[in-house]
Structure 1
Amino acid sequence: MVVHFKKELTLDTIDLFLRSECLYQNICFTSIPFYDVAKSKRSICRKDVIYEDSRFVEKIRQFLLKFADSVQMLSFCKCHLERGRLIEFLELIPELKGLEFEECIFAGDDACVAFPLSKLKKFNFKYPEDEIQRFESGHVYSSLAKVQCSLVKLKVQLFVNEMFGDPDSDLWEQVKAVTRLVKLHKKTMKSFKVDSFNDPALKKLVFDDEELQLEKVVFGELKLRKDDQVFFNFLEKQKKIKKMEISIESSIDANNDQYLQTICDRLQKLEQFYYDMSRNSDSGLENLQKLKKLKNLVLTKNRNTVGLTEHCFDHIYMPNLKSLGIYYKELQFPAVQQIPVSFPNLKALNLSECGKGVTDETVQLIFRSLPELESLDLSKCKQVTEQAFLGCTKIGNLRKLKDLVLEKCDGVTDLSLAAFDNPALKSISVAMCTRITNVGWEALCRQCPNITWLNASHCRNFDDQSALIVATMLGELEVLNLFKNCSVTNEAVYSLVENCRYLEDLCFTKCRGVKMKKPEYFDDKMNRVNKDCLVNKKKI
């Protein structure tokens, strides 16, 4: 199970979880200051004066101790962390397998000691937006490089390029630390991801090392100039790669067709491929057919370069592909129409960034031609109207559909929801679909009674009656997101807690009508829900 703490984390909330009998494997802290930011003094020279709430620190310590045996992943996102206290917290959970820091602010004296995590397998780090903090947070790499563990997955972010100049600067030291990490764990590492992959030393190490045998690689903004052959040699050696995400910018090959051809020729075991096709031509994309084992393909277009046409899929036939995602706003209607022909056996399709080419006719074609679909994402497709769901072929034709995303889709109304007949549906997101009323919620719950995950955030007509409908008709509901629904009140909370015995995650963030005047009642109910979750999961 997962527990996610956001912003205002109080002592009472922590006490609630301390009383819970659940076993949490994943703990995430988001936007939480672990010290008093207002009273503490920040200093570029790192001589910080830190003020902490001793009671809060003690509660966090108790919380981590309680779940020390069960927690596998610990995440900090946009948190304020004191370096010494962080080491102390990590010492409480020595069995931790995964650690993440995303845009965190670090204060206090530099911690020169290694992280006390000998069982660590996965590490993820992303810099904060503040440029000064990028210098001050780099010690994390050095601390990790001192850990005696066997990393399998490493995901890091680097901002070093040719413009930084001084090779002795803090940012270059961070690159050196990452280079040491790769050297230390090259025999066990299977997954490596780095943004702005432009440091020559690190690039040479990854491309040239004979012992490094990767199965997953992500190279963000890979710039190739005179080292094209080094990259080709890397592909020749790393034939075990099963997952690759890459964006190539080359001064030699203007449209990247040569790079895509080499990837497809040499990585025959590739199963998942995320590729920026901004510089490719139609003929270049045809090389994708060579990847016979490819199951998951994501094509993006992040640059406004001309190359692909409306016929870009006309000469592609990939019957083994199971999942396709296309993030290209300018993709034309004929290209979208060709998708069921070129990829006839899809089980997952994401067209959320193809608003120009997705129309009512397109949706009807998908319902008619891809009956094996299990996942469909049509969010942000503003040309889709009610008629897409009320046409000759209904969405009920997708009998195996389990996941459906229709965020910010004007075609989702009471009438279109009444046309749903998908008993296999488990997950649906209709966030920002503002035309749904209680009539639509009742129709959805009646036609799709097995939904366990529902995102109804930013649905302005969702009120207490809507919550009661969902609570009484969706008996298997586990996750409900009602972010920024101003019409719901405490009664919605009570209805859901009383009726949804499998409920694990309930979001009422920025719901101004929810004012918990009876916190003891709410806490007791949620604690009961947690206990029931544990019992029911054990029975399964």
Structure 2
Amino acid sequence: MFKSHHTYFEMDLPYEVLVYLFKYLPPSDRQAASETCRTWYAAASDQCFVDNKAVVFYKAELYDGQEPLDILVKSPVDFSNFVFSDVEVSNKTKGFWDTLGENIKGITLRSCDTCEKMFVYIIEKCPNLEVLRIESCRELFMSGRLLEGKSDGITANSLENLKVLSLTENQYLTDALVSRFTDAAPKLEELDLSGCSLQFHLGLVKRFYPTTIENKPLTPSESVLTFYFVLQVIISRAPQMKRLKFSSTLIDGSALKLLADVEDLRLESLEMFGCDQLTNSGIVKLISYQTSLKVLNIGMCSRVTDQSVVNICRNLVNLESLNIQRCRAVTDLGIVELNKLKKLKTLNISQCELITKEGLENGLLSMKNEILEEFDIHSLNLDESGLIMISEKLPNLRSLDISYCFNAVTDKSIQLIFKNQVWLLCLKMSHCDKVTDAGLTGMGKAHDDEEAVVSNYDQCYTHHKIHLGSRAEEEILRDARRKRDVKKLCEKYSSDSYTGYSLERLKSLRELDISGCNKITDVSLTYAFYFKELAHLNMSMCQQVTHKGIEHLVKNCPSIEYFNLIDCYNLKDEAIKVIVKGLKRLKSLNLRGCNQLTNKTIDAVRDNCKKLKFLDVQGCRAISAETACTIGNIPTLHTVLVSKPTNYMTEDGLKDRAPAPTFLPALMRKLLSRRSP
């Protein structure tokens, strides 16, 4: 429907055109568009979008013929990916699998309660399954008999279309269980054993495999999970195996050397995050053979040094993503080689304390880099000039994390980020406490003939009087003066074309983290926040923010879905009312530690939030657990976090001594079961 010269007319776009246009929208916008009319709903539910969606069941009771399974069975949309998290998958759901099984391509079971027989039934009913993830399902593997024998109905090709197999965080996993899965999956391309008790010690292998034929085990062990056997699986599937994940295991250099010797293995992705036993010698040998790697994750591996980084940069010329987070032995000697990675799009060098500005300047930033899109340098020991150099040499960044870079992130450097990084979708600058309203609004230096607003505030509040108060009082006075002056400048230039280099320049911003930036006030929320696509906002510990700034924020950023306001103790009920009334897409609201909130906040949430899934009001002393439980009628809500029920103060200041419920989860489930359809 369009309006032109006071005349309304309709223009019906073809279905194919709508689908094409919707491809340019993020998922949340596409969902909002689908609520416009039936035609738009059909276009937004096209199979090309549905294939990238997953239906999530979280802590729900699942029964055939009842919600939510009944809705999916009757739905005209054919969903193909399902995630079951903290639920019981029992024989009461057989009708669901009978009806939808043939269309299902992806299943994730996360901390689920299900039996072996039911799992086999699910596999039989999903012949087109391509992705199977079984995470932290201890009971399913405890007996060690899962998929054992053809009597269970499992044939050699029951998982013949399976490409991705993840068995993470399963402590009872054994070689025999892995063998049964992989034998039934001839097209397997990805294997994930992260967080499993994978054994690498040669003595242990000899104990369970005392006799072998041509270096292959006679029978997979039913007692232990060994890298020795997993290696045999990889060898047998080498030509098609593309991705391996061994994060949070005891994989060491010797294991990598064995992996490097596998013929016909051409890996594209290898993840070994948090593997403390990794050594340089193993990494060097592996990457000398696996030169086709595009993704390498060796973050949190304490033994990795410059030797590994240098060889990575020289051998892996096709690398697109590299994570060396908290590899503390890495120095500038390794970082200077990063300029050899011409295809690198994602780089994480956070928490590497020995990396300096000089290393980046001589390596990654030796010339303008227009390829890198995601850069994580949080907790790096840089100065202001180092961050300015990053802003100038990396013009096409989409994601930047500069959290905890205390010395680098100032009003001056952050304004140059706003000037040069206009394509940013995600910006994280948590706990950068030197940033003020002057930096976010672009008024740090409002004009060439204007003096920087905050340049002298960190020296002393006044040069003419001796301040007799405490240091904290002096800081409060300084902040008040800064806020006043920045506000005057914003009002002065708001009607002119000049906007400075403010946060507002990042028009496409979708995620922003300014938690712990305590000098940010309502002035920034009023004059710098104009983001129609902002969905994630973390303002925890921004303690100078009040309802006045929140009003402008909600008005100018209507698409916020995840809002974190932990320890914003100046917020009152009226601010939360503005949030829940104005943010129609709100899914997660974290109000922990906002101790001025009362039960009126819960009333406002209950009356206005139609899509809320998560609410945290822990530490809000004036909110009673009993009142918090009354919001159970919100149909989308699945998690409410409240403080332990105790006596609390009412609005009249009197203690309410009514007994609190002794078992809150049971009460919540009861309320949810009674909600109106």
TM-score by length of 2: 0.61
Q: Is there any run of 5+ residues in structure 1 with no aligned partner, and where?
A: 35-55, 129-133, 498-502, 527-540
Alignment of 1:119-518 (within 5 A): 119-127=161-169, 134-135=171-172, 140-157=177-194, 158-160=196-198, 165-167=203-205, 168=207, 172-195=224-247, 196=249, 198=251, 202-220=255-273, 221=275, 223=277, 228=281, 231-247=283-299, 256-276=305-325, 277-301=327-351, 307-316=354-363, 317=365, 318-320=368-370, 321-328=372-379, 330-355=381-406, 357-392=408-443, 393-411=501-519, 413-430=521-538, 432-433=540-541, 435=543, 436-449=545-558, 451=559, 453-456=561-564, 458=566, 469-470=578-579, 473-474=582-583, 477=585, 480-483=587-590, 488-489=601-602, 491-497=604-610, 506-508=613-615, 512=625, 513-516=627-630
Q: Is there any run of 5+ residues in structure 2 with no aligned partner, and where?
A: 1-52, 149-153, 209-221, 444-500, 619-624, 639-677
Distance 1:480 1:489 in 2: 15
Question: Structure 1 residues 463, 506: closer, same or farther in 2, change over 3 A?
Answer: farther
Which residue number corresponds to residue 84 of structure 1?
Answer: 117
1:303-335 CA distances to partner (integer Å, 9 max, x unpaired)?
Answer: xxx643353323232512222112435555554
Task: Provide the aligned C-alpha RMSD in A.
Answer: 3.9
1:429-487 CA distances to partner (integer Å, 9 max, x unpaired)?
Answer: 226356454433331232234x2633346477788866664565456x3x621256685
Amino acid at match of 2:265: L
CA contact (8 A) 1:106 1:137 kept: no
| RCO higher in structure (CA 8 A, sep ≥6) | 1
CA contact (8 A) 2:62 2:93 kept: no
Secondary structure of residue in 1 paired with 2:525: helix
The Cα shift of 1:350 comes to 1.3
CA contact (8 A) 1:197 1:219 kept: no
Secondary structure of residue in 2 paired with 1:349: strand
Secondary structure of residue in 2 paired with 1:85: helix
Amino acid at match of 2:204: D
Larger-Rg structure: 2
CA contact (8 A) 1:431 1:459 kept: no
Secondary structure of residue in 2 paired with 1:142: helix
Which range moves more in the overlay, 8-17 or 107-116? 8-17
Question: Structure 1 residues 248, 420: closer, same or farther in 2, change over 3 A?
Answer: closer
Secondary structure of residue in 1 paired with 2:377: strand
1:68 to 80, 101, 115: 101
Amino acid at match of 1:259: S
Distance 1:93 1:494 in 2: 41
Secondary structure of residue in 2 paired with 1:388: helix
Q: Could you say which structure has the higher strand fraction?
A: 1
Distance 2:336 2:64 in 1: 59
Distance 2:126 2:565 in 1: 35
CA contact (8 A) 2:284 2:311 kept: yes
Question: Structure 1 residues 465, 13: closer, same or farther in 2, change over 3 A?
Answer: farther
CA contact (8 A) 2:54 2:79 kept: yes
The Cα shift of 1:121 comes to 1.7
CA contact (8 A) 1:248 1:256 kept: no
Alignment of 1:97-112 (within 5 A): 97-106=130-139, 109-112=143-146
2:85 to 30, 34, 59: 30
Distance 1:250 1:444 in 2: 42
1:477-515 CA distances to partner (integer Å, 9 max, x unpaired)?
Answer: 3x6212566854365244232xxxxx5x73346785443
Secondary structure of residue in 2 paired with 1:27: strand
1:38-57 CA distances to partner (integer Å, 9 max, x unpaired)?
Answer: xxxxxxxxxxxxxxxxxx72
CA contact (8 A) 1:381 1:409 kept: yes
Question: Structure 1 residues 312, 370: closer, same or farther in 2, change over 3 A?
Answer: same
Distance 2:573 2:103 in 1: 36
